[in-house]
Structure 1
Amino acid sequence: MAAAMLVPALVDLGDENDDWQVFIGSAFLIGAFCTLVATATRRKSQARLSQRYGFLLVTTIWVFAPTVASLPLYFSSLELSYAGAFFEAMSGLTTTGGTAISGLDVLPRGLLMWRSLMQWMGGIGIIGMAILILPSLGAGGLSLFQMENSDRSDKVLPRVNQLAAGLLGAYVALTIACMATYVMLGMGAFDAINHAMTTVATGGFSTHDASMGYFESDAILIAATIFMILGALPFVIYIRAFLPRRFQRWRDPQIPVFLVICAVLSLTLAASRRTINDTPFGEALISSTFNLVSVITTTGYASEDYTLWSNAAIGIFFTAMFIGGCAGSTSGGVKANRLVILYLLVRASLHRLVRPHAVQRLRYGNQVISTDVLQTVTIFFFLFFGTLLTGTVALSMCGLDLTTAFTGSLATVANVGPAFGQIIGPAGNFGSLPDPAMWILSINMLLGRLELVTVLILLFPSVWVD
């Protein structure tokens, strides 16, 4: 993180903006502190990573990362409260995309670069956490189904470091491809770099208050839609694409389900706009697909205020806020694999009412769904809606109206970004909210990004001791 702060420092230095001193000072402070800690804790023997320690480690990292990332925002020329700076950093690193900053068009380029870098670093951090760390803890999306069996010959890659390198390579390659596409479509180099990082990370931070609507280009909206979808697919698929035999044997039902949901909802929304608003179907399809995919993948871009389209559009976007992308991607939300399992469970339960003595085995792709997996999915949905309602009540106590409180809680727990209403809708931001509301929303983003269980399990005293 300290090293990454040198990038916006160089940008501000080149623009002769005094904020470069803030980034250099923050980088030096954090780098010095980390060096002292690393020196003081250097040992010959390595500590054993228990499951309980793993939960604590993951949560601690994701609390201290925005604490560190918020320092340049707080000490810069933005004049943010610390709650606002922490909210912005948490939103960036969790790739939520909600912002407390207005006037992006005139913001120093170093701060814009730092916001994009936070989302890009958070995106690869999320992938690594979801694929390399959380499965071993029994929490998170891919822990429902290990992507590799005990048989070494069926593993994606034989070593963890090879898998990590493959994931990073795929992430960087997608980012470069997205940036090059934006440049070819007429976007300026600085905008292209920033938007490429936040598109692939499905984060949604923009360099303009009008977000993607600033460019007024259907071609850019189409390109952004494609790369948002690519960022919302499980990144293991890009490694398997170079392993033809293993790719052919691999089946992940969540991918076609996710793509079908995006297609069906986009066509439905475009048809409703053609019927209700008399918008030309081609224009309606491009803007509807872009904005809807942005919400489903929890990116948070917007080309216009879609809450003004119609009540039908609001209902479709509200539904889309729950869905999310695929497990093992940079997106948040419920995620498509859980929706598949929930559907299979409901279907089996209804079938059992007709044939109570029938023996049924639920399968997800090539794997039989165990009782533990079904229990994990049930617990997640209970915690998701429990956190959503708790956040709504807490935000209401901060003086927010019900629409702002509920959709704000949903947008942060699902890591979507923009919510509904005049304050925090697609045309607004979170900057006018009181500091207590900022802290509540920051906690929501942390809970949503770490799949709820990883954080909430630390609240039980039985976990603290052997």
Structure 2
Amino acid sequence: MAGTMILPALVDLSDGNPDWVVFVGTGGVVAAVCTLIAVATRGASVRSTPRVGFLLVTTIWLVGAVIGALPLYFAEADRPFAAAVFEAISGLTTTGATTISGLDALPRGLLLWRSLLNFIGGVGIVVMALLILPSLRVGGMALFQMESSDRSSKLLPRISQLASGIVAVYGSMTLVCALLYYTFGMSLFDAFNHAMSTLATGGFSTHDESIGFFQSDAILLVSTVFMIAGSLPFVLYIRIFLPRRFQRWRDPQVVLFLALCVVLTLSLAVTRVVINEVPVREALISSAFNLVSIITTTGYVSEDFTLWSNAAIGIFFLAMFIGGCAGSTAGGIKVNRIIILYALVSANFARVIRPHSVQRLKYGHDDISIETLQSVTIFIFLFFLSLLLGTTALSICGLELLTAFSAALTAIGNVGPGFGQVVGPAGNFSTLSDPALWILSFLMLIGRLEIVTVLVILSPGFWRD
């Protein structure tokens, strides 16, 4: 992250903006501290245990958020530290919620830094979801563990090769997205910024009007395609290039996710044509873009969709819970958990009808273990419990119930915009108090790290012995 600060520093320097000093100074201090820690701990060994894994993951994201907040805090003297941390966590968790008004007038260095936070957080969550969380048995992710005893599911012989493959695919897709944005009318600066936040399903934009600023159907279509691409498991893209792996490309969560995108988009388009009397072409394009933006937890908007109709709000409300696929940059509950939960409910219904029958729970061709079922059930319970407690805490901070609920939901689901005038598509989080911003920052963090990863550290048993 310290090295990455060179990029916005160069942009500010070329623009004659004094903020380049902030990026150089912050990056230098962070690099120096990290170097001292690396030297001091050189040769030290730590026994790898689940507790070390939980602590490592949470600590990395917390420290990363603080480092990301420093340039935002020092660049503008009137920005509270809570707002700077909120912005950094929103970027790294690819939530896309912002406390900044007047993005069009913001220095380009800060705009680039926000997009880089999205980019870093996006690739970081993919690597974490595929290489770290499965070994911690968090949220049903063990089903996607790379080091399976089934050698046919082991894509690459070394974890480092898999991580390199993910980074290569992620970077290549970002570059292609940027070139298409540039081709269809964005400036080069806007194209790369939006490409980084599109593939990360982060939603940070360089304009207050988000993607709607460009008034281009072609840009909306490009964005829709790459938001979907960012919400699919990145390991699938690697399988395409490996011999005899393409036949294993089909994944139940991918099929269901794409089906949900199509069905909900068509439903939304019908409401726009029937209720709002919008032309069919415009209804399809705007519905597809905004629906995909919400279900993939990107958070881009082309217009205030809460003004469309009550039916449209209901569809968007449902989409906010779903999220993308496991092993992608998207947040939310995720489609794989919905499939596993559906399999559990179906098996229990069948057992009620035929008490002596034996029900095998399967995810595609794989059996679902009891451990995975327990992990998914615990995650779903904690998701809604955190949503309830977050809503209550935000209400105590003075937010009315709809704003508090939608803010908590959009934070824990890493979606971006909520509902209402304050945190809706036409507003932002700048008017919220510091306590409310700290609460939302915590919700964004636990939502991105699969909830259990963070909450287990808060339990007394974690620190015992």
Amino acid in the other structure paired with 1:456 = L
Alpha carbons 1:251, 1:366 under 8 Å: kept: no
Distance in 1 (alpha carbons) for counterparts of 2:248 and 2:381: 34
Alpha carbons 1:232, 1:329 under 8 Å: kept: yes
Which secondary structure state, in structure 1, belongs to the residue aligned with residue 208 of structure 2?
A: coil
Q: 1:154 to 1:382 in 2, by over 3 A?
A: closer
Aligned to 2:26: 26
Cα deviation, residue 463, structure 1:
1.6
Alpha carbons 1:148, 1:156 under 8 Å: kept: no
Alpha carbons 2:227, 2:296 under 8 Å: kept: yes
Aligned to 1:304: 303
Aligned to 1:419: 418
Q: Does residue 360 in structure 1 map to residue 359 in structure 2? A: yes
Q: 1:24 to 1:223 in 2, by over 3 A?
A: same
Amino acid in the other structure paired with 1:15 = D
Q: Does residue 14 in structure 1 map to residue 9 in structure 2? A: no
Aligned to 2:405: 406
Q: Does residue 129 in structure 1 map to residue 116 in structure 2? A: no
Which secondary structure state, in structure 2, belongs to the residue aligned with residue 239 of structure 1?
A: helix
Cα deviation, residue 121, structure 1:
0.4
Alpha carbons 2:119, 2:197 under 8 Å: kept: yes
Distance in 1 (alpha carbons) for counterparts of 2:363 and 2:2: 42
Map of 1:45-194 to 2, 5 A cutoff?
45-77=44-76, 79-140=78-139, 142-194=141-193
Cα deviation, residue 295, structure 1:
0.4
Distance in 2 (alpha carbons) for counterparts of 1:148 and 1:74: 42
Could you tell which deviates more after superposition, 74-83 or 166-175? 74-83
Pairwise CA RMSD of aligned residues?
Answer: 1.1
Runs (4 or more) in structure 1 with deviation over 6 Å come to none
Amino acid in the other structure paired with 1:361 = R
Query: What are the Cα deviations for residues 196-236 of structure 1, in whole angstroms up to 9, with x where unaligned?
Result: 00000000000000000000000100000000000000000
Which secondary structure state, in structure 1, belongs to the residue aligned with residue 16 of structure 2?
A: coil
Which secondary structure state, in structure 1, belongs to the residue aligned with residue 422 of structure 2?
A: coil
Distance in 2 (alpha carbons) for counterparts of 1:135 and 1:345: 20
Distance in 2 (alpha carbons) for counterparts of 1:386 and 1:292: 26
Amino acid in the other structure paired with 2:447 = G
Distance in 2 (alpha carbons) for counterparts of 1:289 and 1:236: 25
Amino acid in the other structure paired with 1:207 = T
Amino acid in the other structure paired with 1:313 = A
Cα deviation, residue 372, structure 1:
1.1
Alpha carbons 1:140, 1:450 under 8 Å: kept: no
Aligned to 2:226: 227
Amino acid in the other structure paired with 1:31 = A
Query: What are the Cα deviations for residues 342-372 of structure 1, in whole angstroms up to 9, with x where unaligned?
Result: 1111111111111111111011011111111
Which secondary structure state, in structure 2, belongs to the residue aligned with residue 423 of structure 1?
A: helix
Map of 1:208-357 to 2, 5 A cutoff?
208-357=207-356
Distance in 2 (alpha carbons) for counterparts of 1:295 and 1:78: 33
Which secondary structure state, in structure 2, belongs to the residue aligned with residue 439 of structure 1?
A: helix
Amino acid in the other structure paired with 2:81 = Y
Query: What are the Cα deviations for residues 71-117 of structure 1, in whole angstroms up to 9, with x where unaligned?
Result: 00000136210000000000000000000001001110000000000
Amino acid in the other structure paired with 1:208 = H
Question: Structure 2 regions of 5+ residues with no counterpart?
Answer: none
Which secondary structure state, in structure 2, belongs to the residue aligned with residue 102 of structure 1?
A: coil
Residue-pair matches, total: 465
Question: Structure 1 regions of 5+ residues with no counterpart?
Answer: none
Alpha carbons 1:154, 1:246 under 8 Å: kept: no
Amino acid in the other structure paired with 2:114 = R
Cα deviation, residue 154, structure 1:
3.9
Cα deviation, residue 140, structure 1:
4.3
Cα deviation, residue 264, structure 1:
0.3
Distance in 2 (alpha carbons) for counterparts of 1:338 and 1:254: 9
TM-score under structure 1 length normalisation: 0.98
Query: What are the Cα deviations for residues 361-415 of structure 1, in whole angstroms up to 9, with x where unaligned?
Result: 0110111111111111110110000000000000000000001100000000000
Distance in 2 (alpha carbons) for counterparts of 1:26 and 1:249: 46
Query: What are the Cα deviations for residues 134-168 of structure 1, in whole angstroms up to 9, with x where unaligned?
Result: 11111146323324531445411010011011000
Alpha carbons 1:130, 1:140 under 8 Å: kept: no
Which secondary structure state, in structure 2, belongs to the residue aligned with residue 422 of structure 1?
A: helix
Alpha carbons 2:236, 2:249 under 8 Å: kept: no
Alpha carbons 1:408, 1:441 under 8 Å: kept: yes
Alpha carbons 2:139, 2:372 under 8 Å: kept: no
Q: State percent identity of aligned pairs.
A: 63
Distance in 2 (alpha carbons) for counterparts of 1:58 and 1:39: 21
Amino acid in the other structure paired with 2:296 = T
Which secondary structure state, in structure 1, belongs to the residue aligned with residue 244 of structure 2?
A: helix
Query: What are the Cα deviations for residues 174-195 of structure 1, in whole angstroms up to 9, with x where unaligned?
Result: 1011001111111110000000
Distance in 2 (alpha carbons) for counterparts of 1:189 and 1:7: 15
Q: Does residue 42 in structure 1 map to residue 42 in structure 2? A: yes
Distance in 1 (alpha carbons) for counterparts of 2:61 and 2:51: 16
Distance in 2 (alpha carbons) for counterparts of 1:249 and 1:269: 33
Distance in 2 (alpha carbons) for counterparts of 1:405 and 1:148: 41
